[in-house]
Structure 1
């Protein structure tokens, strides 16, 4: 479809990201039906929204292999060639896909629309509570910093404060788990599709509004059911559920940070264990594509049982076989939350 510049594009991408051995999904760069827009997406929810809005006028591929982790995935050069020949590259943004900016740079000379779906959507900040605890324990050092400030070392303290802020707060990229923010993601997708194919604007608008109604109804279900929960704390494998905290008054006790690779310190792990036992939390909520080693410690040191919570970032092979969708998975999550909050 778009052969000009592909070789140059691939060479540029390899220079930017280096060779990698990750096995990606088998993708085809050919748009089998010429009147369809070919879209490559990083995450399942974005691909689902594009398919629901675009209908018969789009062909959507998800570049991540089933069950993979979008936080640390790297595309193969084969996948990069396919993206260069597509009509749109669709990614979440908010620093979730570490490779996205490199792809954007490599695609600069290609005729591919690049859509960061989270653009313009309100993000929340995730706070790393274990660092706050360490700061509390190190009161003496904190007092010395204050004295240093009084002794005209303001510049040094400003630098320290800047590092402190960076370490403690990051934008939570998992906004598709909030149905209301998912509406905004879908709206951005709809607007991009209209730009690419204005002749079908009416169809895209109609499909978007149908999707919007379903998302609003889903949000209402979450509110109605979770407002009556006996408790509000969930023990999860990584901190992907900040938007549920904000929207539904759920508190996540996370074994790792925004990325599953951010494992807790020994002191933080001890604090989590104490809290789980004191609060009588009954379940550890595993995710479909993440199995942190620290979870084994939690289960061996407490009496928690396991349930699966789906973060929806990517489908598993089983999900695909069962023809799961964004809505069936979110409804299953609601059932899991109802059970996990019964203690």
Structure 2
């Protein structure tokens, strides 16, 4: 059965529910991606780095459309039925993987029967373990006292669209991992359009060179830091920990919905005070109430690190790309890692 028929049936069965979901006429992802000609690959992407890399590597040979509108949360976003039918008719859907995009896992078997080729950009990247939990040190007494509360918290999260992550999906913030993602994109484009192989390779090498330079800048910034601890609202920076030696003290887990228990929250506040942390880092997601509590209790100054899961309307207006945003992140890191 074709995916259009499947989704049309679902639409009939659930019309009352879907009538109020994702139907805004301003949602640009509802628009069909139009093919220019037979020499253009029609591609849908998920998170912003994949969209940006695909445009840079594909150049004139691709027409790229993000599934996500500006401001969408990659952990929870569900595309409309119209968008899913457009994806089914495209040449590629390039996604991050590592459990980041719930709708991909839900529709993978159906999409495999369609024209579209599915490309997992994280393929070949060594993924860090992700328990969707808070990486804060507890002594055994705290652990035992809090076990029931923590288990209830985990149980509630699993029931919320299973937003636990077995692996940390935020691979694109590590430029070395981003090189592998870009290479996977380049290889997929080359296989689909061998005639443009030289263009794809040239464009990929330019992206790779910029990513290598970014990696060197991140290394220098962390090596020169007065301290390595950062207080973050969302545990997006595990790969910076692994590659460069930063230590993130996270308020929410790998998914922003995974908030700490009361005992964990107290530990976060105490740890931040112990390290005399002056800044609390928000990403471009809306500030949560619990992060605001930590800000007040620790008397920290809010700053922004852009995790690039999505871009904002202001990013679009300012013509930002992966590298301009990451360079701003570097400037912020230099500020918050100094005494």
TM superposition score category, shorter chain reference: 0.7 to 0.9
Structure 1 residues 318 and 130 mapped into 2: Cα distance closer, same or farther (>3 Å)? closer
* Aligned pair partner of 2:250 in 247, 250, 254: 254
CA distance in structure 2 between the partners assigned to 1:282 and 1:112 by the alignment:
48
Equivalences, count: 318
Q: Is the 8 A contact 2:134 2:260 kept in 1?
A: no
- Range moving further from structure 2, 65-74 or 13-22: 13-22
Larger radius of gyration: 1
Alpha-carbon distance between aligned partners in 1 of 2:13 and 2:174, rounded to the nearest angstrom: 33
Normalised to the residue count of structure 1, the TM-score between the two structures is: 0.85
Partner SS, residue 56 of structure 1: helix
Q: Contact 1:289–1:316 (CA<8 Å) still a contact in 2?
A: no
TM-score by length of 2: 0.86
Q: CA 1:341 to 1:44, structure 2 compared with 1: closer, same or farther past 3 Å?
A: same
Cα gap change, 1:130 to 1:59, in 2 (>3 Å): closer
**Which residue does 1:58 correspond to in 2?**
62
Choose the corresponding residue for 1:108, options 112, 118, 121: 112
Is 2:319 aligned against 1:310?
Answer: no
Does structure 1 retain, via aligned residues, the 8 Å contact 2:134–2:250? no
Residues 12-41 of structure 1 deviation map (CA, whole Å, 9 limit, x = unaligned): 776999964135533223213442111000
| Matches for 1:165-244 after TM superposition, within 5 Å | 170-244=166-240
Q: Is the 8 A contact 2:146 2:263 kept in 1?
A: no
Q: CA offsets per residue over residues 226-269 of structure 1, 9 Å max, x none? A: 21010001111111100000111100011010000000000011
SS at match of 1:126: coil
- How far apart in 2 are the matches of 1:13 and 1:106? 13
Aligned to 1:84: 88
Contact 1:237 1:290 in 2 (8 A): no
Question: What do the CA deviations read for 1:145-171 (whole angstroms, capped 9, x no partner)?
Answer: xxxxxxxxxxxxxxxxxxxxxx99831
Q: Which residue of 2 aligns with 1:25?
A: 28
Kept in 2: contact 1:231–1:341 (CA 8 A)? yes
Q: Structure 2 CA distance, aligned partners of 1:178 and 1:16?
A: 43
1:97-176 map, 5 Å: 97-126=101-130, 128-129=133-134, 133=138, 136-137=141-142, 170-176=166-172
Determine the C-alpha separation between the residues in 2 that align with 1:16 and 1:207.
46
Q: Which runs of 5+ in 2 are unaligned?
A: 148-162
Q: Which of 7, 10, 25 is the equivalent residue of 1:10?
A: 7
Q: Distance in 1 between matches of 2:145 and 2:274?
A: 29
Give the aligned partner of residue 160 of structure 1: none
Residues 298/272 of structure 1: CA separation in 2 closer, same or farther (3 Å cut) = same
Query: Where does structure 1 lack aligned partners over 5 or more consecutive residues?
Result: 143-166
Measure, in 1, the Cα distance between the counterparts of 2:14 and 2:181: 27
| C-alpha spacing 1:116/1:169, structure 2 compared with 1 (3 Å) | closer
Measured in 2, the distance between the counterparts of 1:264 and 1:329 equals: 29
- Residue 151 of structure 2 is matched in structure 1 by none
- SS of the equivalent of 2:60 reads helix
